[in-house]
Amino acid sequence: MHRSLTHLACAVLLAAAAPIALAQTVYKLIDRHGKITYAEEPPKYFDGQVIRIDIDPNANRATLAAPKPVHPTASTETKPAAAEATGAQKLEVARQRLEAARKALEDARDKPGDGDIRFIGNAGGGTRPVPTEAYEQRLANLERAVKEAEDEVRGLEKQQ
C-alpha cells in the first residue's frame, strides 16, 4: 500500500511539473528559404528544419541598470535649474544635447543592430546589404534630432 501511494504521489508531481517543463521549450523553425520563426509547439507538417531549444530560466537572468535620461534637462533635478538658468547655461545645455544627438546618430550609422540590415541576392551571384525600413526611419529621426539641436544652439548663440 505504501508503495502504491509513493507511485501515485510521483505521478501527480510529474503531471503537475509537465506544463512547466513544456513552457520552457521553444522550437526554432528554419524553412527552405532560410526564414527563421520560433514556436511554442513543434509543427505537425513543416517543410524545413525544426530545432528544439530547452530554456533554463535560472541561467537566463539579467539585472539591468536604470536607464539614463536622454536629455540633461529631462531629469527632475535639472528642470528647476534650467528654468532659472542664464543664457550661457542654457547654451551649454543645448550644446551638450547637440553633442549627444550627434553621437547617437554616429553610433547608429557605424554600428547597425542585428535586424537593421538585410542581405539581398543569391549566394552564387553575391549579396548586397539593404537597410530595413525601421532602420532608415530611426536614422531619419536621429538626423531630425541633430537638426533641431543645431537650430536650438544657433538660436541661443544669436541671443548672446
Angle at which helices 87-110 and 133-159 cross, to 10°: 160
Cell, residue 134: 525601421
In a structure prediction context, what are the per-residue pLDDT tens digits for the chain, which is 160 residues long?
555 555 555 555 555 555 554 458 888 988 888 888 888 888 888 888 989 888 877 776 667 777 777 655 544 555 555 455 677 888 888 899 999 999 999 988 898 888 888 878 765 667 778 888 988 999 999 999 999 999 999 988 888 7
For residue 118, give the 3-state DSSP assignment: strand
8-state DSSP, 132: -
In angstroms, rounded to a whole number, what is the distance separating the alpha carbons of residues 122 and 143? 33
Q: For 7, which DSSP code?
A: H
Global confidence as pTM: 0.45
Can you read off the three cell numbers belonging to residue 100? 549627444
